Structure 1
Amino acid sequence: MQKKGLGSAGRTALDFLDFTGGTVFSIIASLVGGLFRFTYKKLSALFSFIGRWLVKKLKQPLYDLWCFILTPIAHAIGTVAHASIQIKKVGERGELHIGKKLIHILKVITAAVLRLLAGLVRFLRTAFNYAAPVLSIAFLIAVVRYAGTLEYTISVEYNGNDLGVINKEGDYTEAQAIVQDIITYTDEDQSLIETPKFSVKMMRQDDSPVDSSALSQLILDSSEVNIVFAYGFYINDSLYGVYSEEEMERIRTALESRLASAFSSRSASIDFRDNVELIEGQFIETNLQPADSALEYINGTRTVEAFYITQSGDNLSSISSDLGISEEALKAENPFLGMSVPPGELVTYHYEESNLPVVTTRYEQHDSPVEYTVQYIYDSSEERYTELLVQHGSDGLEKQTIMITETDGRETSRQVVSRYTLQEMVPMIIRTGTRQNTTLEGDTHVIDTLGTFIWPVGWDGGYSYVSSLFGYRDWDHSNHRAIDIAAKRGTDIYAAASGTVVFAGTYSSYGKMTIIDHGYGYQTVYAHQSAIDVSEGDYVSKGDVIGHVGMTGSASGNHLHFELRYGDERLDPMLCLGGVGDHEVRDW
């Protein structure tokens, strides 16, 4: 082949590739051919060896079999040929009488037959010796195959009765469980299930296995006790009693009568508080009973002990109204109850409740005010304790749908299920300072700089201002141990924090004064009131109106003299108020 267009180096490279490719191909062809020749040689040797081994092993058995088959035939042919020669010789003997010839021929034939029979017996005996093991194995295989086609089953005997046959013991276990589910036991009953007897037998053509459902009914039929259809009266999944259809009808009528007596046109739902069920089932006949005791229970009552934790603002009258218990009954069990009750006290009371309380629900709609909230804006440009009113607050109004739940006519809960806004609430917005207050210095008792106590006058945005701070006053050269908050006569005075009134009356230059104990050693004093609205021993909540601004006692104008006491020490009230400092409350 001509290699045109290639230089000398190119043609040399092509020649080298041709030579290399041819050499590699020749080597691969030689290797593959050698591998095939080697494999053929070894396989030929293997088959040759197997052939020689089979010939060696089968030569003698085949020869013996051939001899075994041909020997009886050869013997039989020889016997027949020998008999023919003997008969021919007898026929050629002329000196013998024909009768003797016949006798001699018969002897020859008889001897030949006997020799044939003897040979046949030997052949059959030998053949039997060979065939018997083969036939035995074949018979055994046939028996096993036949046995494999047979079906066996389990016979069940229960309480002396043959219940039939089942496929497996698990069927009886399932039937036993069905029986337990079918029969409803009382606490005094014992299980009806006895131990069965099982036996394995070959299934006959007329045998039909019983399923677990049918077997369960057979077990019930074989039980010694009588099982009847009746009704169970259940209360909270607990069986109260077993009754016939007629007695259960009396119970059903009594239950319906209880519900009907509690129903009204306003009722949205009505039911027993407990889960009451009348369920038909199979029961032991001896458990049937009359309905008299059940009717007595349905219409009967019981005494219930209950507890109430007092809330802020509670008193004997309000608790009596809320619980529906007379004041005399509450006072008898709780002697500490009075016109004022501190929160957190445990009140014990008893009331009569039916054994099966009836719960009813109804819905009411009310227009309810939405109290405005107070929002604070923190301003670092103003001193701490300074509050500037940014926006007056006003209550909103919403229509509420309330679900009222009653138990035997006593209200037990109220739940607002829907709200619809009629008028939006406007929050009160107060701007409060966070800058260090230069007028308050030194280490002293600080309850809460953000106002644990509320302002006793004017905290709701009403007109008021601090007319005199805590400390030394130049104008009268006195050490003023309170703050004075000026306001119009009659302005409401609020409890700065919750507590118990320990004094309410007129005292010296304080005029009409109230002292409230807040616990932990703290008390607040409200002096120069025009009127007092609380009494000693009353419990008041933060924000409750306790009196009104005036100028009784030693006072030059209408104002509230407000003190903060810690034990015997007088503290600056500004330390506990989210206060105005020396600034009056004003619109911003």
Structure 2
Amino acid sequence: MKIFQHPKFKDLISKSTSILQNLISKGKSILQNLITKGTCLSQEIKQYPGWKKLSVRCKDISVCQVNFRQMTVLLLLVFFLTSFAFENIQAAQASQAASLEAVQDTAIKAHKVILNEKESGYVCDPISAEIIMDEILQEAALLYSMEIADDNLLRFEETVISREEMSTKKELDEALRKHSRILVNACTIYVDDIPIGTLKTKEEAQQLLDKVKSKYIDPESSLENASFQEDVKIAITPIHFQQIQKLEEVEAELEEEQEVVEEYTLQDGDTFWSISRKYKIKMGDLTNLNPDKDPKKLRKGLVIRLSYPKSLLNVVTRELAKFEDSISYETETQNDNSMYKNESKTIREGQAGKKFVEAYIVKVNGIEREREVIYEEVILEPVNKIVAKGTKKEVTAASIARGYGKFKWPTSGRITSYYGKRRAPTRRASTNHKGIDIANSKGTRIYAAESGKVTAVGRAGGYGKRVVIDHGSRVTTLYAHLSTIKVSKGQSVSRGQLIGYMGNTGNSTGSHLHFEVRISDSPKNPLRYLN
């Protein structure tokens, strides 16, 4: 075995290893060529230049013939072991290639279907999914008889899947229906950017708005314009079909009225009654809104509060109106020194005039809010009212007590009995008459001779039904033999106010009024104090 220690043998082994490494580096291509040609690996090696060089060198080695043969066997053993390793490598690579080919035979390219960010299946061609989606939307359009909103996001991602993962038409249809959003293009009415109702079509929404306007349009008027006070818009809104409202529902919402409070500046001739009629407000409501205002003391420029119904939609109309209007008359006063300062009388009644007017009238919900007069022509001039006012010093209880004031006559009729001594008309009557008797038919009106406070009412012996009024400054008046009393004790009365009716109660011989004037409870001749 010395041959294994020989330097040349070691050199041979080293060179053989190098040859084997070169063979391995050549790799798969050399081995495949060898297999294809069917040539023995040993012959291929013998033809290799390195092998010939190795043989020559081996012949130069001084060894016995037997040892050389042993070396040859060893080399052949190394060769066959190497060949067996290459064959195993080749078999493994062939098996791997076969497996890859089998996988390539079952895996296919596909498109993942994603609807509204939800996986819905796999298709070879995106067009097939788009066709199914179109069918679903067309079916909804036929069902609802409406345009379907383009509100679905359908997208695709390329991928590789097995044939078993590919979606069938039924599976894809079910998945797309499940993940789709079926919204219809409805029409919403917005009032000042607030939605108040959603209807099926724009025509239906416009029909409703026109109906609201028509309530306040007079077909006989010269309408210039009709619009809404608010900003009104109709906008397409994608919603579920079930959210669409009926026309009657939206109309009912629009007819709901809201209570608002506004102010109004009084003009000439305004009264609570005329304002209530103009703004369709109850008199009681108007009075309650203005507790600090006296309806009898209104004046131009006074500001009052108004409350009237205002709708969600308010119709503003502008029309050209031609009409006749009244011209208010004025009241003239004349001084009359024959009457007291608290007395007056009408000398001539006033009469309103007439004029022809052309004007633009602006109304809100049928109520006039503005008027622009563009033409006027007087048809009939007004006739002013003339009133005479007294200039004499007013009658007061103090002036009456001093003897220069005058009472108003308490009733009409003729005097049948004067103040002072007389023949008694009845057995129970006094011969000293404390007042005067004014006769007239039963039921004749009896008035307060002057303002004051009622201190006594009811029956009082021979006076029958009587009323006593205290005028202050210890001056009182008495009204007796009444048939009916119209005032009560403690009530304040004004000069000339009705206090009862003439009668024949008490110690009386016929229908008449017994009238007394007392100062400090002492009877005075009434004729001295009557006007």
TM-score, reference length from structure 1? 0.29
TM-score, reference length from structure 2? 0.31
Task: Please identify the structure whose Cα radius of gyration is greater.
Answer: 2
